[in-house]
Structure 1
Amino acid sequence: MMDNLWKLLPAEYALAHAILPTGHRNGTVLMAAAVEPDINLLNELQLLFDRQIEIELWSRQELLEAIREKYQLRPGQSPVDKETAQFEHLERHSQQAPPAANTVAGEDDHTVIHLVNRFISEAIRLKASDIHVESYENLFRIRFRIDGKLVESEKPPVAKRQAIISRLKIMADMDIAEKRRPQDGRIRMKNSHQTIDIRVSTLPTDFGEKIVLRILDKSALQLSLDALSMGEDILARFKQVLQLPFGMVLVTGPTGSGKTTTLYAALEFLNREDVNIITIEDPVEYNLTGINQTMVKADIGLTFSSILRTVLRQDPNIIMLGEIRDGETAEIAVRSALTGHLVLSTLHTNDALSTVVRLIDMGIEPFLVANSLKLVMAQRLVRKICPHCKTVDNDSRRQFERYDLPDRVLKSPLYRGAGCSHCYHTGFSGRQALIEAVVIDDDFAQLIGNQADIYRLRELAGSKQIPTLRDAGIQKVVDGETTLGEVVAETWVV
């Protein structure tokens, strides 16, 4: 296999970057290149080959001729044409092979490994959060979730479906013979610079198993509060509350709104030698040095509430609960916050103040909520306009006239991304948080203790001019950072 390293590198990729594997020495891949590759390209190559890379500088002309000879590219033939022809040949070969050969084995082994390595490496390069491997009657496709939206990456031959699925299951240490039940596994990919964990889940469907790979790339995770685009005022209040010796801080929002990232950034801010931090998560997504992380395992009785009781006997200063799911967990968490612990957790509510009502609905006495709760932050994620293809888009304002837009939106220029190679032709690159932060001061505590309804709480927030999620979104539009459509989709239902 080491003698055919070039087969792991698509011809299009080799030509685009002017690189070609030429051999190996002591486990190191020798790579011909026209110029010294930058750190990002070097990282990709080390991840793809799972080896150290040693660069050999060649003349560009000599290298391009070697690439065309190695990949047998005829004059005028594009690498994509060559790749497609190769896939079609392999598909015909697979259709003629006996059923037992439809696995990751024999002469097709390097092709399947190459396909899998290629789309995983591409997903990591594009900073995708998930890879969807989907089986249909006459279609097999790979989709990436980039900035919260699914985009199609490629459609491997249907005949390679089972081989690719088997390869992924082998990598995740799953039972490849079990196709009737869902399975969960994990893949760890390493190179000299980073370790990437991939959480793998299978689901039986009518035409084969669907596999979702959740990419947990800690290097891409913003674990600094200063990097979360909160705004100076909210950031200052958040840091001030986090330095309290006890109390509860809750981050709210739907699944995929960045709550875990915010909590992890808060833990990194609090992570010092003189404090004991313990987390209870389902599952542990990223390992944080210096923090004791525990995973929920409900099948053996390790629930949020049962682990929390044990954690309280572990002399904690700070406790992070991945989620408050039931009244029992909520009550223990609230009482922990009142007895000398700083408790951080999440809830699923539409806005910050709805969290108060949710806790009371879960059976927590209003006076306990009033005395324990110190800060509630609701958040949403919106996509950022790609800076490489940003263009004026005032025409889109008419699409949203029925939403009673504030004057500052009507008077400000609007922008969008036209789509380019830098943003996968989506017009967006990256995401940022919209945050609504409410500090539970004496005024709020008094209303909560007196069982005031949500309308009274919102009236007080309005009198204090606390920006809502919608206000935060409108400001991002006015600043030219996101589109009006993104903000309407995320906040006009709140």
Structure 2
Amino acid sequence: DGLRVRLRIDGVLHPLSSLPVTQPAALLARLKILGGLDIAERRLPQDGQFSLEIAGKPASFRLATLPIYGGEKAVVRLLQSESAALSLDKLGLPAAQLRLFCAALAQPQGLILVTGPTGSGKTFTLYSGLSALNTPEKNLCSVEDPIEIPLPGINQTQIHAKNGLDFNRVLRALLRQDPDVIMVGEIRDAETAEIAVKAAQTGHLVLSTLHTNSTAETLTRLRQMGIPGYLLGSALKLIVAQRLVRRLCPHCRQPAQAVAHYPAELWPGTLQTWRAPGCDHCFSGYFGRLALFELLPINARLQNAIAAEMPLENLLSLAKQQGLRTLLVSGLEAVSRGDTSLEEMQRVIGLDDG
């Protein structure tokens, strides 16, 4: 009995004390009112959004409800609402990877994809890239669900599926708005993927996201969506895969006795690991998060390989020959610097170097 409340902080769920059984229905009803949902509807899932002022600053939230056995479940997600923090320099990209990202953004046309699971920071990266392109000389348009950060100077459209305003309909309309840059919040189906790829081949720079685990897996997903290799190879300019890992507290971290060993092609020699027991600054050993990146720029050799629909294993091998720095290698480097723990890196990335 009661209401279980949990907070996801830095990617990890933390339970709070359960509320008395008399409060759940009233609390859920209040959330539904804030989100503009039907408070009487308990049999179907609903989605909404609301804004509040907290400590004098605006805060936006996304609300999703779901009927479950014995009642209802609700998830409230805090949305990033400050555009001032959007900067490529604040993404945490190493200098070499930042240059690759900036070079792709400087292209007059093509497709840039940011990939990763939910909560990996894709939207922040996408908005940062869009902000870097936001000048009076360029017409920037976006289609989003929802608009998480209002950006002055950018024509942002939020979809309303119930009213027939879906990604595909808005995207087709945007192509008639003389855009230089188009941002698609997420490629969810084959039709959206096809429109985005064709837009990237007709004089538009297109930025979007996909829910895949690596740069190589992104190519597989697009193939599964029915995008021919000859279209994909010529449209793609860059794929960015990313994860967020918890950062070890700088106040209490210390070298650990355990030293990990990996195959020489991944990490030559031994890998020094770190630990943080917790202190008055962090209380847990971790303080904040940092991003890990894997960037795959599509050069001429990779374009030809994708167009020829080369098997994924061969594509990945070719990419590594040309200097692909995988998420696992990025994670191992973060561990060696003491930025995160080996356990945290394995929790988020795993040990598969695919």
> Shared fold by TM > 0.5?
yes
Q: Does 1:142 align with 2:2?
A: no
Partners of 1:220 and 1:316 in 2: CA distance: 22
Residue in structure 2 matching 1:432, options 270, 276, 290 = 290
Cα offset, 1:445, TM superposition: 1.2
User: 1:406-485 alignment to 2 at 5 Å?
Assistant: 410-412=270-272, 414-423=273-282, 425-485=283-343
Cα distance between partner residues in 2 of 1:180 and 1:461: 48
Give the distance between the partners of 1:220 and 1:314, measured in 2 at CA.
Answer: 24
Please say if residues 271 and 336 of structure 2, whose CA atoms lie closer than 8 Å, have aligned partners that are also in contact. no
Deviations 1:121-174 (A, max 9, x none): xxxxxxxxxxxxxxxxx2323211101111123333333333333333343344
Counterparts in 2 of 1:195 and 1:465: CA distance versus 1, 3 Å = same
Letter in 1 for 2:286: F
What's the secondary structure of 1:283's corresponding residue?
coil
Gaps of 5+ in 1: 1-137
Identify the match of residue 332 of structure 1 among 195, 216, 235: 195
| Counterpart amino acid of residue 110 in structure 2 | G
Q: Answer 1 or 2: which has greater helix percent.
A: 1
Give the alignment's Cα RMSD to 1 decimal.
Answer: 2.3
The 2-side partners of 1:192 and 1:460 are apart by 52
Is the CA contact 1:222–1:228 (under 8 Å) kept in the aligned structure 2? no
Q: Identify unmatched segments of 5+ residues in structure 2.
A: none
> 1:85-134 CA deviation, whole Å, 9 max, x = no partner?
xxxxxxxxxxxxxxxxxxxxxxxxxxxxxxxxxxxxxxxxxxxxxxxxxx
Measured at CA, do residues 177 and 451 of structure 1 come closer, stay the same or move farther in structure 2, by a change above 3 Å?
A: closer
2:174 maps to 1:315: no
| Paired amino acid for 2:119 | G
The structure-2 alpha-carbon separation of the partners of 1:332 and 1:408, relative to structure 1 and needing over 3 Å to count, comes to same
Partner of 1:227: 90
- Evaluate the alpha carbon distance shift between residue 142 and residue 420 of structure 1 in structure 2; reply closer, same or farther with a 3 A threshold: farther
Q: 2:235 aligned to 347, 351, 372, which one? A: 372
Tell me the amino acid that sits aligned with residue 183 of structure 1: Q
Hey, what's the Cα distance between the residues in 2 that align with 1:141 and 1:218? 27
Give the CA deviation at 1:361.
2.9
Is the partner of 2:196 in helix, strand or coil? helix
> 1:372-395 CA deviation, whole Å, 9 max, x = no partner?
111111112211112233233334
Partner amino acid, structure 2, of 1:418: P
Structure 2 match to 1:305? 168
Q: Does the residue aligned with 1:314 lie in a helix, a strand or coil?
A: coil
Aligned partner letter, 2:15: E
CA displacement, residues 176-203 of structure 1 (integer Å, 9 cap, x when unaligned): 4444443333331125752101122222
- Distance in 1 (alpha carbons) for counterparts of 2:244 and 2:158: 26
Q: Say if 1:212 and 1:420 are closer, same or farther in 2 by CA, change over 3 A.
A: farther
Aligned to 1:127: none
Q: Using the alignment, how far apart are the partners of 1:196 and 1:345 within structure 2?
A: 25
Aligned to 1:287: 150
- Indicate conservation of the 8 Å contact 2:2/2:22, yes or no: no
**Change in 2 beyond 3 A, CA 1:391/1:140:** farther
**What per-residue deviation string (whole Å, max 9, x for no partner) do you get for residues 453-488 of structure 1?**
112212212222221111111100011101111222
How big is the shift at 1:407? 5.0
Per the alignment, do residues 301 and 173 of structure 1 end up closer, same or farther by CA in structure 2, a change over 3 Å counting? closer
CA distance in 1, matches of 2:205, 2:45: 38
Cα deviations by residue, 1:235-277 (Å, 9 ceiling, x for unpaired): 0110111011111111112222211111011011111111111
SS at match of 1:486: helix
> Any conservation in 2 of the 1:416–1:483 contact (CA below 8 Å)?
yes
* Identity percentage of aligned residues: 44
Contact map agreement 2:143 2:184 (CA 8 A) in 1: yes
Matched pairs, number: 351
> Amino acid of the residue matched to residue 188 of structure 1?
S
Determine which of 179, 188, 204 is the counterpart of 1:341.
Answer: 204
Which has the bigger relative contact order, CA under 8 A and spacing at least 6?
2
Tell me which amino acid in the other structure corresponds to 1:464. Answer: Q
SS of corresponding position for 2:23: helix
SS in 2 for 1:376: strand
Structure 1: which amino acid aligns with 2:333?
Q
Match of 1:211 among 44, 64, 74: 74
What TM-score comes out, normalization by structure 2 length? 0.91
Equivalent position SS for 1:263: helix
Please say if residues 280 and 294 of structure 1, whose CA atoms lie closer than 8 Å, have aligned partners that are also in contact.
Answer: yes
**What residue in structure 2 maps to residue 354 of structure 1?**
217
After TM superposition, the score normalised by the length of structure 1 is: 0.66
Alignment of 1:22-421 (within 5 A): 138-190=1-53, 193-219=56-82, 222-395=85-258, 397=259, 404=263, 410-412=270-272, 414-421=273-280
Classify the secondary structure of the residue corresponding to 2:89.
Answer: helix
Offset of 1:287 from its aligned partner? 1.4
Deviation string 1:292-336 (CA, Å, 9 cap, x unpaired) is: 111222233222222111110011000011122222222221111
Distance between the aligned counterparts of 1:327 and 1:170, measured in 2? Answer: 35
Q: Bigger radius of gyration, 1 or 2?
A: 1
Q: Displacement, 1:221?
A: 8.4
Amino acid of the residue matched to residue 465 of structure 1? G
